[in-house]
Structure 1
Amino acid sequence: MSHPDPYGSEPRGWDRPERPVALPWPEQDLDAGQWSRRPTAGPELYADPHTRPYADPNPYDERGRTVRPDDASTRHGDPERHDEPGRYDEPGRYDGPPFDGPVRYDDDAGYPTAQLAPIGAEIAPDPEPVTEPEPPSGRRTKGRRRASVDRPATQQLGTGRAGRNLPAAIGVGLGLGALIVVPLVFYPLAFLAVLAGAVAIGMWEMARAVRRSGAHPPLVPLIAGGVLTVGLAWFAGPDALSLGLLVTVLGTMIWRLGDGPAGFQRDLTAATLIAVYVPFLAGFAALLAAAPDDGPLRILATLIAVVLSDTGGYAAGVSFGRHPMAPSISPKKSWEGFAGSVTAAALGSALLLWLMFEVAPWWGAVFGVAVSCAAVLGDLAESMIKRDLGVKDMSNLLPGHGGLMDRLDSILFAVPTAYLLLAIFVPVVN
């Protein structure tokens, strides 16, 4: 359907008489008289009869206010003098200041646009277009997304290939080591308080993590039973350790009965896993430290072997890691890192046990290999639990390490192995 001609049936030249023309579309702010302001000049003055004459590329006046088409006289003059004729009333004359918009003509000739220049006027050629450099493909790096002149890019703390913030990890590791060594050297009974606190925090992290699977193990009987289990192992030996585990599981079961039968089996299974994984395995650390005469040396030898295993595995994995050890469980662990763990623990333990307990170096190397393998298995076991629960770390309690359980995972599997081997290599004399 064709639209009606807004100019009627008259010719479209500029010689027709000037009169208001009704517009075919509704406009509230413009009327026909505003569109009839055009200078009476020959057809050579305009290149296109449909172009609005003297279109100002700057729609704002000197005070930043929007100017309507009929206020052209106030754009470059006094805004208050609306009664004076505009500078566009004389045909072919423009005596205002230069335009602010992009210039595509010879401004010395005095024509506001190239379309209004007379035929034959010399018009400067268009300047070469300035092409902006294309942004690099791909996603921009972090820290530069909102950078500007006034706001420089923020520097991100880099992490190593193992995914850790290495300075924070080293600082936190040294602090944890001091928290363990100082009580063992000066007052061994204080180590029991440190161990009980670590067990309580570890059980809290585990209970918090398993809630993602829908299980809700009761936390109060778990923590109380875990602390009791560690204390019984310290004061009463291995038999009391098993008794503490039994009391913890039964106490959790009785406590859970008060919440009804809904989800009882699921909650009790999660509670039993936590009770065995954290306080029962940590009870072997209490058995090592509570041994008469050389208890602190036994726990120190075990912890040093675990630290050597972790350090050797980290250094070898970062430097030579090429073959993943268990990609579906822990993609960053490699067989090269495992070899570094075993080698470092074997060499260090051979020297350490010979100096501490006068054990033959080859038996010390066997001790180091066994402790290293147990530590790696403990790390993989916790990685499998976290992957099954869909969490990266048990918590964010320790900067550079994650949660406390992320540091205890290898120790919890290493202390039962060390307790068994040291009971053979260095018998306890009561």
Structure 2
Amino acid sequence: MNATAPTTGPARTRRAGRDLPAAVGVGLALGAVLLLSLFVRPEAFVVLACAAVLWGTVEVSRAFRAQHLRVPVVPPAVGTLAMLPGAYLGGPETLLVAYALTVFAVLVWRLLATGGDHGTPVGVPAVRDVAGGVFVVSYGPLLASFAVLMLAATDGPRRVLLFVVLAVASDIGGYATGVLWGRHPMAPSVSPKKSWEGTAGSLATGAALGAVCLPLLLGGPWWGGLLLGLVTVAVAVLGDLSESMLKRDLGIKDMGDLLPGHGGVMDRLDSLLPTAPVVHLLLLALIGP
């Protein structure tokens, strides 16, 4: 997440109060768990991903319900447990079938619901509830499944590691550059802390790490890594801004409070989720399945 440096002048925006030591500690702990799950027992990564997406799905569903959208929790939760393991064991075809069945379950769930339950006014159109449910299924379980598709490759753990490194580089590079030199807000009405200078830092960090890490981890060309880093960071920034816009519309600062210094689980997945399918497809093009 990019940040702009504090100043008394009008050109800069004030940094938000985050517990930085807690955020760093939680981030390091999550990184250690991720590495262990990837390289000790890859199946553990699937379990970890399922747990994170399940919790994030609950967070988003609760946020929508607070705005009188009757978004179901059970179909997306069951769909998560079908889509992610299905992608790892059966590939894209199994993922597609599991996704389609989950969307159908959302429709059936809303069809069986009665008007006025759970504090929802009778007049709320069903199409809004269904659209919210399909969004939850697509935003969390579906996008996360592409990281599991990467894991299923022969060199899967290294693909996922590269994917995570590039997404995290976007946050760290953007934050550091924004704090030091951020003066021009990128989207002040959506995310006042994100600056153009911070975004430039994210792109530079991602490009450099991509050019180094793709050859080292997967034997790909350096120019492919540079391209991968730039595209990954660009999508990560858009994902961060998209969730910021969603939270602003919902009137909340964070999706949850499970992770000290970070917010909710979905607040940490906002840049990872949209980049997963992009990295998966680019790696297929650059180094093959």
Per the normalisation by structure 1, the TM-score is 0.61
Match in the other structure for 1:385: 246
> Which structure: greater helix fraction?
2
Match in the other structure for 1:286: 148
Measure, in 2, the Cα distance between the counterparts of 1:396 and 1:336: 29
Match in the other structure for 1:426: 287
Measure, in 1, the Cα distance between the counterparts of 2:271 and 2:16: 17
Measure, in 2, the Cα distance between the counterparts of 1:281 and 1:221: 16
Match in the other structure for 2:108: 254
SS of residue paired to 2:271: helix
Matches within 5 A, 1:184-333: 184-260=38-114, 262=122, 263=124, 264-292=126-154, 294-333=155-194
Work out whether residues 159 and 218 of structure 2, in 8 Å CA contact, stay in contact via their aligned partners in 1.
Answer: no
2:227 aligned with 1:366 = yes
Cα deviations across residues 15-46 of structure 1 (Å, max 9, x unaligned)? Answer: xxxxxxxxxxxxxxxxxxxxxxxxxxxxxxxx
SS of residue paired to 2:194: strand
Matches within 5 A, 1:82-93: none
Measure, in 2, the Cα distance between the counterparts of 1:421 and 1:191: 22
Match in the other structure for 1:400: 261
- 1:350 alignment partner, one of 195, 200, 211: 211
Measure, in 2, the Cα distance between the counterparts of 1:354 and 1:162: 37
- 1:335 alignment partner, one of 183, 196, 201: 196
- Residue type of the alignment partner of 2:206: A
Measure, in 1, the Cα distance between the counterparts of 2:281 and 2:156: 14
Q: CA deviation at 1:256?
A: 2.1
RMSD between aligned alpha carbons? 1.2
Which of the two has higher C-alpha Rg?
Answer: 1
Q: CA deviation at 1:307?
A: 1.1
SS of residue paired to 2:137: helix
Q: CA deviation at 1:188?
A: 0.5
Q: CA deviation at 1:258?
A: 2.0
Q: CA deviation at 1:377?
A: 0.8
Q: CA deviation at 1:212?
A: 2.2
Measure, in 2, the Cα distance between the counterparts of 1:318 and 1:162: 11
Q: CA deviation at 1:162?
A: 4.6
Cα deviations across residues 244-302 of structure 1 (Å, max 9, x unaligned)? Answer: 2111111121122222254322211110110110000001011011112x000000001
- 1:411 alignment partner, one of 268, 272, 278: 272
Indicate the structure whose relative CO is greater, using CA pairs within 8 Å and at least 6 residues apart: 2
SS of residue paired to 1:394: coil
Per the normalisation by structure 2, the TM-score is 0.90
Measure, in 2, the Cα distance between the counterparts of 1:212 and 1:199: 20
- Residue type of the alignment partner of 2:181: F
- Residue type of the alignment partner of 1:361: W
Measure, in 1, the Cα distance between the counterparts of 2:70 and 2:259: 24
Work out whether residues 199 and 227 of structure 1, in 8 Å CA contact, stay in contact via their aligned partners in 2.
Answer: no
SS of residue paired to 1:301: helix
Could you list the runs of 5+ residues in structure 2 that have no partner in the other structure? 1-13, 116-121
Measure, in 2, the Cα distance between the counterparts of 1:337 and 1:200: 31
Measure, in 1, the Cα distance between the counterparts of 2:96 and 2:244: 26
Measure, in 1, the Cα distance between the counterparts of 2:201 and 2:65: 36
- Residue type of the alignment partner of 2:79: G
Q: CA deviation at 1:324?
A: 0.7
Most deviating of 358-367 and 399-408? 358-367
Q: How many residue pairs end up in the alignment?
A: 268
Could you list the runs of 5+ residues in structure 1 that have no partner in the other structure? 1-159
